[in-house]
Structure 1
Amino acid sequence: MAYVEAAVRRGQLIRAARSVLARTGVAKTSLRAVATEAGVPLGTLQYVFPGKELLLRAVIEDVVDEIAEVLRALADAEHGLEHAIRTALTSFWTQLVDEQHWGDQLMQYELTVYSLRAAGQEELARWQYERYANVIAEWCQLAANNAGETCRVPFGQLARIILAGIDGLILQHVCDPNQTRSRENLDALIDSFVSLTRA
């Protein structure tokens, strides 16, 4: 087997784990299944990730980083706070919450619950939501500052409310998918977020 740099191999294994997790769930994901998905011997996987917990932690960190970057990239901070909220959340829904990504959404919820239940992993769930909230607060504040606007509630509070609303709507959509209804609910939710910002 050709030599692969450690960082490249680690990324390859995390991608394989994400694929298996999205397809089969946390409970049914084994190191052997991930090694097979990655096309490497089990020993190679265990050299990089000696246990399932370490692999799942790496996956959680990778998923959070990816979503944080998507949120950051989608936020148009040049046209005011309302525009930033509307464009970012609508684009986020289009890119990450359509029918093709249900496995990814379920995987994220499972990983959050896993980290809350697994001894020594509890801080991962807190870090996950703090990271999301911080990214949202950053682009909300940047958009408001760029437009010379003020926000009626603190940006940290606004971000946590946005996160809670979107998270709930995603879970509802995954449980009972209806694109038209979910889009209508998303629009109503965005209106409520925007109303919170107005003095």
Structure 2
Amino acid sequence: MTRRHDPDRRDRIIDAALSVIAEGGVAGTSHRRVAERAGVPLGSMTYHFTSMDELLREAFTRFALRMSERFTARIEAAADLEALVSAVVHIVHDDLSAGPDDLVLTLELYTLAARQPAFRHITHDWMHRSRAALERLVSARMAHELDALIEGLFIHVSLDPTPRGRAATRDAVRRLLSL
């Protein structure tokens, strides 16, 4: 029996895991469901990942890095505080939910990190990257507060049946920045 050369298999499994998590949550994620979604034999799961926790860590790390890259790119394009305000409005209303599964994956990661301390390093690293990007234009203390505001506004904009609009977000960021 010859082995099929499939150098992208591990990456497909990680992407499939994110898709399965977005669809049914961490609790509904199994090796079998991920293997089916990735189009790989079930045995590939244990070949590439020693446990479900390892697969979840890899998947959520990939997701957090993707979100951080989006965030950092938007913040790095801001040249001053007024541009930062506009960047934050775009982050809250557009970038953090650019993918259809971004809200669910974010909340699933937060829930997993809240329940299992071993996953908190992923959220801590994500927060650190966000704050580091913000610190280009504001103090460390303000970066911490602004990051928390961004996350809270994102959740409210995403889940509130009558979310406040971009103007309300702009006003909140401007007040926090004392503009």
| TM-score above 0.5 | yes
Q: How does 1:96-107 map to 2 (within 5 A)?
A: 96-97=96-97, 101=100, 103-107=101-105
In the alignment, is the contact (CA less than 8 A) between 2:20 and 2:33 conserved in 1? yes
The Cα offsets for residues 10-59 of structure 1, whole Å up to 9 and x where unpaired, read as 22111111111111111111111111110001111221113211111111
In the alignment, is the contact (CA less than 8 A) between 2:135 and 2:143 conserved in 1? no
The alignment status of 1:134 with 2:128, answered yes or no, reads yes
RMSD: 2.4
Q: How does 1:37-52 map to 2 (within 5 A)?
A: 37-52=37-52
Q: CA deviation at 1:190?
A: 1.6
In the alignment, is the contact (CA less than 8 A) between 1:133 and 1:156 conserved in 2? no
In the alignment, is the contact (CA less than 8 A) between 1:68 and 1:131 conserved in 2? no
- State percent identity of aligned pairs: 27
Give the structure-2-normalised TM-score.
0.83
How many residue pairs get aligned? The number is: 176
Larger fraction in helix: 1
Counterpart code for 1:117: R
SS of structure 2 residue aligned to 1:75: helix
Q: CA deviation at 1:90?
A: 2.4
Separation (CA, whole Å) in 2 of partners of 1:32 and 1:95: 32
Q: CA deviation at 1:164?
A: 1.3
Q: CA deviation at 1:141?
A: 3.5
Unaligned runs of 5+ in 2: none
Aligned partner of 1:147 in structure 2 is none
Separation (CA, whole Å) in 2 of partners of 1:162 and 1:123: 26
Separation (CA, whole Å) in 2 of partners of 1:88 and 1:113: 27
SS of structure 1 residue aligned to 2:29: coil
In the alignment, is the contact (CA less than 8 A) between 1:60 and 1:111 conserved in 2? yes
Q: How does 1:1-199 map to 2 (within 5 A)?
A: 2-5=4-7, 8-77=8-77, 79-83=79-83, 85-92=84-91, 93-97=93-97, 101=100, 103-118=101-116, 122-125=117-120, 127-142=121-136, 144=137, 151=138, 155-178=139-162, 181-195=164-178
Give the structure-1-normalised TM-score.
0.76
Q: CA deviation at 1:108?
A: 1.6
Separation (CA, whole Å) in 2 of partners of 1:79 and 1:182: 24
The Cα offsets for residues 62-100 of structure 1, whole Å up to 9 and x where unpaired, read as 1111111111111245622331x22322232313336x6
Say if 1:78 and 1:95 are closer, same or farther in 2 by CA, change over 3 A: closer
In the alignment, is the contact (CA less than 8 A) between 1:14 and 1:55 conserved in 2? yes
In the alignment, is the contact (CA less than 8 A) between 1:82 and 1:194 conserved in 2? no
Say if 1:140 and 1:77 are closer, same or farther in 2 by CA, change over 3 A: farther
